[in-house]
Chain A
Amino acid sequence: MAGLWVRTASLVAAGRRGRWPQQQQLILSAALRTLKHVPHYSRKHLMVSRNLGSVGYDPNEKTFDKILVANRGEIACRVIKTCKKMGIKTVAIHSDVDATSVHVKMADEAVCVGPAPTTKSYLNMDAIMEAIKKTRAQAVHPGYGFLSENKEFARCLDAEEAVRIAREIGYPVMIKASAGGGGKGMRIAWDDEETRDGFRLSSQEAASSFGDDRLLIEKFIDNPRHIEIQVLGDKHGNALWLNERECSIQRRNQKVVEEAPSIFLDAETRRAMGEQAVALAKAVKYSSAGTVEFLVDSKKNFYFLEMNTRLQVEHPVTECITGLDLVQEMIRVAKGYPLRHKQADISINGWAVECRVYAEDPYKSFGLPSIGRLSQYQEPLHLPGVRIDSGIQPGSDISIYYDPMISKLITYGSDRTEALKRMEDALDNYVIRGVTHNIALLREVIINSRFVKGDISTKFLSDVYPDGFKGHMLTKSEKNQLLAIASSLFVAFQLRAQHFQEHSRVPVIKPDIANWELSIKLHDKVHTVVASNSGSTFSCLSREAGGSMNIQFLGTVYKMHILTKLAAELNKFMLEKVAEDTSSVLYSPMPGVVVAVSVKPGDMVAEGQEICVIEAMKMQNSMTAGKTGTVKSVHCRAGDTVGEGDLLVELE
């Protein structure tokens, strides 16, 4: 029985700026209860992040001796870094498969809390409590996700009740996991049918991701901007607002690119939002770092969305522009120290942008998860104004068990233009091999003219790429540049092949070629080229002797086929190979676990009918039939683990 936390209210009644919705009281008490009902150890919970020039650490200000970080990946590393800076010992918890991961290495101690699935490890309360006792940690930092969110309040409903509630609110509605965040278990429904489907899929996802299948249904506002205010409170009744973050670039309701400040807000709106956020924090006596989320419409009306009583993924942009280390402040506050800053001390210095670098294929619905081993990994930390929060290293596995985020790439500049330019350079210099990643999409977003102008909404991606993301569209001069790059690489490889260092018995006579006449096939068009070089950054990802070359240029990977002019002329005679007809076979588009198979051999299926459901990276993906026909054979069962490209079902 799926649970449902009813919050019909939050957006429906939101009025002009400054007017709290009627259900505000409900939310406030919820937030309050968040604090009261979280198991006792989380009272002390704190938050952290590394800083770009933050306020220093005062060694005389004693906080804790040892903190247990109840999370994994980049956020665990992030928290541990600040703890180290503050002289606090750290305890990492980890699952079996994470035993050698970076957060475990960074921490002073590590405790294994169970096998890979999150419900058995990072959400395993008993094991974590045991770890706290065993290591005598004085405080727990939950990071975000997993334990960081409260799930003590909710009531249970079923799908039909969900439909009833959705009708009451009025479509469209958003169905989301009460325990969740980050777009997991979140779906938009426009009618009863979609509500039922969404309810089913979301509750399953919620159960597997958060160990809690309870859901929220709320009004879905069309075309809004998502802007949130960072707040920080202490136990002495003080609270600050640390400016806003613009998080409108999202896919599947999960943020992709964030920045601070927002190009959209004026000082007046900012102050109004900030003051209300602080009022809320004070009203619930909130004493930590928290985030008050708003939706802002085109007329700068803002609507309260919810308050997140935890550190947000995108907190680094706030740290960059305010100079505060939020994790450090959380630890101080948790220990009972008053805030060190006054509201007047908080200013906006420069501009910061964050891109979430994911192990995802952006060409498939803006990002289908991919898994694999990072055979090569190099962060562009040598560039100025770059901060990277990551929890991985070369050789790390991106597994099906956890979020496919590789890192958070943050760039900082004196203004937005500089920050964005630095982001461009950083993305070009980021080396990630072994898994598919979304750098092509990130780079396209930050150079998109609408984004540069600040004309964005939460529907940005689907508006700009209505037919899906197709990679960077080359201009004529960029195309020439790319052809030149390919040519110079080709020539370099050829020339090097002649550099034998042996003192040869049979003399080596190097062919004397003055002009390299080449023929390059790009996007099915053939270009005749004479080589040259250029100054832009590119990487040659692969090269085969047969002439195929993959070059990453302006973020996008281009497949090219380069041959000498002679070889290209002869290549005309080569026959086209017939591609396999894939409409009658269904392959797994990504690695994952088969949750359900809805057909058996002999069944008739209609085109578009659901054949099976695959869960990968905690997302459930419905696989549908490519054509109408009879099922010939089924090659998977519920519970099977499948890899990308594995045959699932064959049709006649």
Chain B
Amino acid sequence: AAALRVAAAGARLSVLASGLRAAVRSLCSQLTSVDERIENKRRTALLGGGQRRIDAQHKRGKLTARERISLLLDPGSFVESDMFVEHRCADFGMAADKNKFPGDSVVTGWGRINGRLVYVFSQIQAFTISPRLVSNSWTQAIHLPWPLKVLGLQDFTVFGGSLSGAHAQKICKIMDQAVTVGAPVIGLNDSGGARIQEGVESLAGYADIFLRNVTASGVIPQISLIMGPCAGGAVYSPALTDFTFMVKDTSYLFITGPDVVKSVTNEDVTQEELGGAKTHTTMSGVAHRAFENDVDALCNLRDFFDYLPLSSQDPAPVRECHDPSDRLVPELDTVVPLESTKAYDMVDIIHSVVDEREFFEIMPTYAKNIVVGFARMNGRTVGIVGNQPKVASGCLDINSSVKGARFVRFCDAFNIPLITFVDVPGFLPGTAQEYGGIIRHGAKLLYAFAEATVPKVTVITRKAYGGAYDVMSSKHLCGDTNYAWPTAEIAVMGAKGAVEIIFKGHENVEAAQAEYIEKFANPFPAAVRGFVDDIIQPSSTRARICCDLDVLASKKVQRPWRKHANIPL
């Protein structure tokens, strides 16, 4: 034993004798421990809130942040950044290691969708408390001091998904890069709102994101997919993005939750009624579309992404097309009913005209008297706007004007040509509309069409009456190509109304009406003045539009310099 000890001492001595070797050895051991730490952090980060939270998330029919990203992006294309970011809060015991969480409840990075670059952030929502308490927390986070014992800080994932300064910083970082590179940002929102423990730093984080949303607006497409509760300040980032989609039954958007609503206005309302997908896609118009569940939503988002250019510097994407651009559509020759009072479905026309009947409708269940959405013509993305005679005769009212205007402006911002199908009897009359400001809101659509410099092709299928005719991408608003079908009636108003005014008190009203119809209820008055470029056979509509879009692809319009325009908001 003594001999051994001596040998060991000798060995130690010999090592110590060489200072260089010692330094190397020490460095090596340090490296090993850094490797281990990296590995540990990575593992923790990849596990999100831990297996138990993942299971809990699954049980609610929701996916984890990383699962969502894996579905949204091409396999293996995701490159994550800031996995090691942790929050910086030291109050309320938050500095404890058990409350530190690599990645700090948001996964950020970039990847590809069908080969094209996109920046993504996906918030980690892994609450273990009931959704009711969660919804409560948003409102209280904004208005009231948070009772810590309810939060149960022992469970560190309770603050998962909530927005800390670090969390916001991560999102801002990828947004900044997305703008400099020129690629869209997709946010998968499932956020716990402001992180109460951080106080004002969290609020500052929101504002940092809002600012970037606004700066990036019109530069790169921004898309929000709401996949969980989203309340208080958290709702405004989606509201600033170009498109907000929701997942049915699991996502909510509201400023204040049902409990606060009850205490302030004494209204009894459920989360779903107050801010569920149905509410926002049919009544408020806050969300643009809702999907069945996480998987359905993410698959659809991939599909939707293919329509968008990467940025405002890029042309509308052109995809390989197997649908002949000169395909005749005989069924269109009979689609407009003979009686001008009879309705038909404008979506039928859109389906027959576009490539392979594929039409991604935006806001399909809100203000249904106007139809907007994306499609392709000969492979090129186009924005489609159409009056819907099936709903409220296709008239323009407050909601449809605003819906149309926002869509038109998006298309214009991102170089997506606009195709407009017109069958509009006018603006909706009545006190409800006037008091609601139809003049102001109707002006938005007028403004948007007039402002748009992308190629604009317009097809008047039937009625184009009054001011609404002017609004709907008319020649006068610099429509590039304006067509009328033989069934078109371009006039100040319908024959009956017109005759009642012109021939007030006259006896032979019927004859006057017939004369008016003969004179105005057809495309000729507009055609002889050059307000429509041609009267076309409906079956040739697709071929004509495809042809026009090829020609108009190089269209350029110069507008006088200004800081920015002033749309009547």
Contacts and interface: CB of A to CB of B under 8 A. Distances in A.
Interface of A: 96, 99-100, 373-377, 393-397, 494, 496-502, 504-506, 508-511, 513, 544-547, 563, 566-567, 570-571, 573-575, 577
A550 to B, nearest CB: 13
B114 A505 contact: no
B317 A502 contact: yes
B497 interface: no
A502 B331 contact: no
Given A499-B320, A573-B61, A510 B313 contact: no
A498 B114 contact: yes
Contacts of B296: 546-547, 574
Nearest to B62: A573
Nearest to A544: B300
B115 A511 contact: yes
B75 interface: yes
Contacts of A377: 331
A21 B384 CA distance: 70
Nearest to A545: B303
Contact of A575 (B61, B75, B314, B348): B61
A100 B487 CA distance: 13
A396 B333 CA distance: 10
Interface of A is mostly: loop
7 contacts: A395-B330, A497-B302, A509-B112, A511-B74, A511-B114, A545-B299, A574-B61
Given A375-B351, A505-B310, A500 B61 contact: no
Nearest to B320: A499
A396 B334 contact: yes
A546 B331 contact: no
Given A395-B331, A506-B182, A498 B299 contact: no
Contacts of B70: 566, 570
Given A499-B320, A574-B61, A575-B249, A566 B71 contact: yes
3 A-B pairs closest in CB distance: A395-B331, A545-B303, A575-B61
B350 to A, nearest CB: 11
Interface stretch (B287-295, B466-474, B543-551): B287-295
A394 B322 CA distance: 21
A547 B299 contact: yes
B111 to A, nearest CB: 10
Interface string B297-330: 0111011101000110111011110100000011
A563 B299 CA distance: 9
Contact of A545 (B183, B293, B302): B302
Nearest to A433: B357
Contacts, number: 136
A498 B331 contact: no
B98 to A, nearest CB: 27
B501 interface: no
A100 B333 CA distance: 10
A627 B93 CA distance: 61
A573 B58 contact: yes
A570 B64 CA distance: 10
Contacts of B310: 504-506
Contacts of B67: 570
B116 interface: yes
Contacts of A497: 114, 302-303, 306, 319
A496 B115 CA distance: 11
A506 B294 contact: no
A501 B309 CA distance: 12
Contacts of B292: 546, 574, 577
A375 B334 contact: no
A511 B112 contact: yes
B540 to A, nearest CB: 14
Contact of B295 (A395, A567, A577): A567
A494 B181 CA distance: 26
Contacts of A376: 331
Given A498-B115, A504-B116, A577-B249, 15 more contacts: A375-B351, A496-B319, A497-B302, A497-B306, A500-B317, A505-B311, A506-B116, A509-B77, A545-B300, A546-B296, A563-B299, A570-B70, A570-B71, A573-B58, A574-B293
Contacts of B59: 573
B48 interface: no
Contacts of B60: 575
B352 interface: yes
A547 B300 CA distance: 9
Given A395-B332, A506-B310, A547-B299, A570 B116 contact: no
A555 to B, nearest CB: 22
Nearest to B71: A567
Contacts of A510: 114-115
A395 to B, nearest CB: 3
Contacts of A513: 75
Contact of B331 (A374, A499, A501): A374
B223 to A, nearest CB: 14
B319 A499 contact: yes
Nearest to A513: B75
A509 B79 CA distance: 14
A571 B317 CA distance: 30
Contacts of B303: 497, 545
Interface in B95-123: 112, 114-117
B320 A511 contact: no
B509 interface: no
Contact of A573 (B63, B351, B379): B63
B204 interface: no
Contacts of B329: 394
A508 B112 CA distance: 9
A220 B495 CA distance: 59
A394 B295 contact: no
Interface centre among B76, B293, B338 (most CB of A within 10 A): B293
Interface string B274-297: 000000000000000001111110
B204 to A, nearest CB: 32
A509 B303 CA distance: 17
Interface string B523-547: 0000000000000000000000000
B335 interface: yes
A567 B298 CA distance: 9
Contacts of A574: 61, 292-296
B299 A502 contact: no
A511 B348 contact: no
Contacts of B311: 505
A394 B348 CA distance: 12
A501 B338 contact: no
Nearest to A576: B61
A474 B75 CA distance: 34
A500 B71 contact: no
Nearest to A578: B249
Nearest to B335: A395
Contacts of B332: 395
Given A506-B181, A508-B116, A511-B115, A570 B295 contact: yes
Nearest to B328: A394
B114 A502 contact: no
A566 B68 CA distance: 11
Interface centre among A100, A566, A574 (most CB of B within 10 A): A574
A83 B300 CA distance: 55
Contacts of B333: 395
Nearest to B379: A501
A217 B71 CA distance: 66
Given A547-B299, A575-B293, A506 B315 contact: no
Contacts of A100: 334, 338
Contacts of B115: 498, 500, 508-511
A374 to B, nearest CB: 7
Interface in B243-279: 249
Interface in B182-217: 182-183
